[in-house]
Amino acid sequence: MRPSTAIVLVFVACGAAAAQRPSCEEVTALAQMVRSKSAAALVRLKRQAGDSYRAKIVFAFRRFELKPTDVPSARAVLDLIPNTEEQDSDWHTFGDSLCDSETVQDMAALSRLGDRLPHDLARAVLLVPDKMPEYVSYARLSVQDPHGDYAERMRAVCRAKRAQFLRAVGGLAEQEKTWFVSHVFNPDGCQPLALPEAE
């Protein structure tokens, strides 16, 4: 896929996501999940938040943050790597206003979680390296966010799990691999190429 095509698809997906805004009750529960300090509180709040893809993201990532060495929690995070542009748009809209009565505090909490997603994914794939192909493949979509640091976070993964990382890059389709190594990440030197723009 050409980068211009990917950008168009992300914008289309963002429009679709905007048409399906979550309720303010869900948004409040999501923000409370982000701030939860225990697994028990997280489970209780998940029931309030519902079963949307966005709610699954918040639950899985916060559970992993509470148990950062737990392999099943890491795998649950990696299982949520977006497969579609619509899912990807959910990853990049946590800092947006998700409902009309969302508080500044809730928006800030969700925005901070959104900023942590690339960092948490990188930590998770170190625990579950068999998910490396999905992790590497997602970079194509993730780096379309001009402020995201997905490629930068890949540096630690490339260094710590070099053999698995190189196999995953080698397994990309030829056109996708060419785009990856020339625009996203240079695996030879574990060097990120898609750097976040200053805000």
- 144 pLDDT band, cuts 50/70/90, is confident
User: How confident is the model over 145-163, as pLDDT tens digits?
Assistant: 888 899 999 999 999 999 9
How many angstroms separate the CA atoms of 85 and 190, rounded? 27
How many angstroms separate the CA atoms of 171 and 158, rounded? 15
Give the global pTM.
Answer: 0.84
Mean pLDDT value across the chain = 88
How many angstroms separate the CA atoms of 125 and 95, rounded? 24
Query: Looking at the predicted structure, is the pLDDT value of residue 177 above 60?
Result: yes
- Beta carbons of 197 and 147 less than 8 angstroms apart: yes
Query: Looking at the predicted structure, is the pLDDT value of residue 97 above 70?
Result: yes
**Average confidence (pLDDT) over 2-11:** 43
- Beta carbons of 172 and 180 less than 8 angstroms apart: yes
pLDDT at 199: 55
pLDDT at 198: 60
